[in-house]
Amino acid sequence: MGDELNTIVELQHAVDELNAAEELLAGIPDWMQDLHVEYSRKKAEMEGLEAASEEANEAKRAAASEISDLQVKVKHFQEQIGMVRNQREYGALLQEIDDAKEQISEAEERQLSAMEQGEEAQRLLEERSSSFQELDDRYQQELQKWEGQKPEVVQRAEELRQQIEGLEERLPKPTLALFQRTGLHYGGSALAGVREVVRKGPRIWHCGACNYRVRPQTVVSIQAKNIETCDSCKRILHIEEDAG
Ligand SMILES: [Zn+2]
The tens place of each residue's pLDDT in the chain, 244 residues long, gives 458 999 999 999 999 999 999 999 999 999 999 999 999 999 999 999 999 999 999 999 999 999 999 999 999 999 999 898 999 999 999 999 999 999 999 999 999 999 999 999 999 999 999 999 999 999 999 999 999 999 999 999 999 999 999 999 999 999 999 999 999 999 889 999 999 988 888 889 999 999 999 999 999 999 999 999 999 999 999 998 654 3
Whole-angstrom Cα distance, residue 115 to residue 57? Answer: 7
**122 in any annotated domain:** yes
Contacts of 138 (CB under 8 A, 6+ apart): 35
Whole-angstrom Cα distance, residue 134 to residue 139? Answer: 9
Q: Please check whether residue 4 is in contact with residue 225, taking contact to mean a CB–CB distance below 8 angstroms.
A: yes
Choosing from 171, 198, 227, the residue where a domain stops is 171
Q: Please check whether residue 117 is in contact with residue 137, taking contact to mean a CB–CB distance below 8 angstroms.
A: no
Residue 155 identity: Q
**136 in any annotated domain:** yes
Co-location of 153 and 187 in the same domain: no
Confidence (pTM):
0.67
Ligand 1: centre distance to CA 231 (Å): 7
Whole-angstrom Cα distance, residue 99 to residue 79? Answer: 16
- DSSP β-ladder status, 204-207 and 213-214: antiparallel
Ligand 1: centre distance to CA 196 (Å): 13
Ligand 1: centre distance to CA 178 (Å): 15
Co-location of 148 and 227 in the same domain: no
**68 in any annotated domain:** yes
- Nearest residue to 55 (alpha-carbon basis) of 103, 114, 2, 5: 114
Beta bridge partners of 204: 197
Co-location of 217 and 164 in the same domain: no
Residue 160 identity: L
Co-location of 166 and 206 in the same domain: no
Ligand 1: centre distance to CA 100 (Å): 78
Ligand 1: centre distance to CA 194 (Å): 9
Ligand 1: centre distance to CA 161 (Å): 27
Co-location of 141 and 227 in the same domain: no
Question: What does the DSSP 8-state code read for residue 202?
Answer: S
Ligand 1: centre distance to CA 168 (Å): 23
**Full residue range of the structural domain in which residue 213 is found:** 177-238
| Cα first-last separation, the chain | 20
**243 in any annotated domain:** no
Domains held by the chain: number: 2
Q: Please check whether residue 21 is in contact with residue 13, taking contact to mean a CB–CB distance below 8 angstroms.
A: no
Ligand 1: centre distance to CA 103 (Å): 73
What pLDDT score does 213 carry? 96
Whole-angstrom Cα distance, residue 231 to residue 88? Answer: 95
Beta bridge partners of 205: 196, 214
Choosing from 137, 171, 205, the residue where a domain stops is 171
Co-location of 128 and 213 in the same domain: no
Alpha carbons within 13 A on the beta-carbon side of 184: 6
What pLDDT score does 184 carry? 94
Whole-angstrom Cα distance, residue 58 to residue 86? Answer: 43
Co-location of 155 and 67 in the same domain: yes
Ligand 1: centre distance to CA 223 (Å): 17
* Residue spans of alpha helices (H) in the chain: 4-26, 30-80, 87-170, 173-185, 216-223
